[in-house]
Amino acid sequence: MMTGLWEWTAGWRASAVVGFLASQAVFSAILFAAVLPLTRICGRRCRLLAMGLWTLVFVRLLLPAGLSSPYSGRMLIESALNRPHGNAVFISAPEREVPAGATRKTAGFTASDGLDSGNGAGGRVHTVLFCAWLSGVLAAGAVYAKRLKKYERIARGAESCGDVRFLEILETWRRRFHIRRPVRLAFGPCRISPFTVGVLRPVIVLPGCMRRSDPERTIEPVIAHEMAHVRHWDDLWIRLQNLVQIAYFFNPVVWLAGRQVHQLREESRDASVLSKRSMPGGLYGNALLETIRMRLEPSDDLVLLPSFADEKTRLIRRLKNIQSPAFSGRGRTAFSIAVLAVFAMLALPMARLTDAAAVAGIRLDPPVPGGVLNLQCGRDWDGNGWYDHRGVDIGRGGKPCTVLAAAGGRVVSCGTDEIFPQFREVTISHGNGWHTRYLHLQCLSVQPGVTVEKGQALGTAPHCLHFEVLKDGAVRDPEPLLTLPKRLTRPVVKS
């Protein structure tokens, strides 16, 4: 029994992670398909908007997979098409009708028939996929940490700049960008590309071959660009971006979106420097070309740090933008933020709405005052085998509790508890196909045919209440409809 329970727990965790990653991969692909044409329309005139749209792809990957909203694009489309939606417990198969006299182990969820998480072939596949994902995350994380430490080691060993001319340029751009953090300027190996590392105490590392470069023609554009990165805290954002890319290393959408964000970030920092109107675009572009002529070491595959140099294909695009820069005024910035807010509200909540109250107009109150959720709705292991727990268990630490009607309606039946014959059960119809069932009761205070109000006492439960919700005879998960604290005795499998 303990072996089966352990396998179930391990499989449940693997299934939860694999299911979450699969859902996020699908959602990010949908969002990518929507963002790609929009960014092409934006062009370089709305660079802030384009960068924000690509950033939303990363934001989507950090949000709960079940995030939903009645105002999301999905819900608006389904409403326009008049498609039914609700809070089905499983989504991989249609819901099954629940006969009135069905027993606990026969009125099950359809999706669990072909997918036993943690038990059987489906659970083993999930476990293998989880182990493969975890191995990939550890490998990618190790590579990232090794490369990051390499640059941090270079920054620590770099020789601090003592040239007054260079330090005056650094201080000038620190004031122009209103940077309060201390910034250190240093020279590293001769062939390393310029880069910035450090969030709170940033260090700008220039290649040693730039020591004898012209301060105005070569050094100032490089320092100005790196200070723009410091101004916008890019080292912090790049680190967060890399963590998301590591977690979703298997998803090509993440890498494609990451390249777009990196390109737009560099273009935006170029625009930030030129917007100060203290440096001609030609001078700035020539400094960018000079870094190519120096044949500095190319950056790693992972975008580790903010840097002035870049891949040649991206440099060409940056040079074109530098020749005819487009600056974002306050009006364009406000417009971009407003569009991003609306797009985020429509696009980020991609799950089907799970609030039946918003869908069907039914409002449920907790049926046990002061009760906590002990067991969720789903596939459960009772020590002897699997069974379908069609509702939720609500109790007060094993103490007797009064059971109230979760919503107003008409009592349609009062009978013997189908699970424990020594107890009673009550079924209430709330109209529009909604029913609630209350099991494990004693001392009923209602009878069939009477109308009850929300919060009216139905009886008492000696230990806990088993509460079920049905819509047109199909089982629905009551948990999204109730606001209850959780004190789970054990997890169940939810797909």
Sign of CA dihedral 376, 378, 381, 387: positive
> What's the mean per-residue pLDDT of the chain?
79
* Same domain, residue pair 439 and 298: no
* Same domain, residue pair 189 and 288: yes
The predicted structure's pLDDT at residue 295: 58
pLDDT band at 411 (very low <50, low <70, confident <90, very high): very high
* Same domain, residue pair 364 and 290: no
Report the domain count for the chain: 2
Mean pLDDT across 248-254: 93
* Same domain, residue pair 296 and 173: yes
- Pairwise CA distance, residues 243 & 236, whole Å: 11
The predicted structure's pLDDT at residue 361: 54
* Same domain, residue pair 309 and 365: no
The predicted structure's pLDDT at residue 328: 61
**Residue 415 belongs to some domain of the structure:** yes
Structure tokens belonging to residue 162: 């003592």
pLDDT band at 358 (very low <50, low <70, confident <90, very high): very low
Q: What is the CATH number for 424?
A: 2.70.70.10
The pLDDT tens digits of the residues spanning 295-346 come to: 555 554 445 555 555 555 667 677 777 766 665 667 778 888 999 999 999 9
The predicted structure's pLDDT at residue 161: 92
Q: Domain of residue 389: give its range.
A: 358-481
33-42, 166-175, 267-276, 486-495: which range is least confident on average? 486-495
**Residue 238 belongs to some domain of the structure:** yes
* Same domain, residue pair 178 and 248: yes
* Same domain, residue pair 453 and 378: yes
Mean pLDDT across 118-131: 68
Mean pLDDT across 85-91: 36
**Residue 341 belongs to some domain of the structure:** no
* Same domain, residue pair 303 and 366: no
- Pairwise CA distance, residues 424 & 51, whole Å: 60
* Same domain, residue pair 183 and 298: yes
* Same domain, residue pair 241 and 142: yes
**Greater confidence, 395 or 3?**
395
212-226, 240-254, 352-366: which range is least confident on average? 352-366
**Residue 318 belongs to some domain of the structure:** no
Cα radius of gyration rounded to whole Å, the chain: 30
* Same domain, residue pair 194 and 297: yes
Nearest-CA neighbor of 266 among 296, 299, 290?
A: 299
Q: Yes or no: say if 79 and 349 are a contact pair by the CB < 8 Å rule.
A: no
**Residue 442 belongs to some domain of the structure:** yes
**Residue 53 belongs to some domain of the structure:** no
**Residue 435 belongs to some domain of the structure:** yes
pTM for the predicted model, two decimal places: 0.66
Mean pLDDT across 351-370: 67
Structure tokens belonging to residue 370: 């002061």
**Greater confidence, 343 or 484?**
343
pLDDT band at 98 (very low <50, low <70, confident <90, very high): very low
- Pairwise CA distance, residues 346 & 331, whole Å: 23
Mean pLDDT across 197-223: 88
**Residue 471 belongs to some domain of the structure:** yes
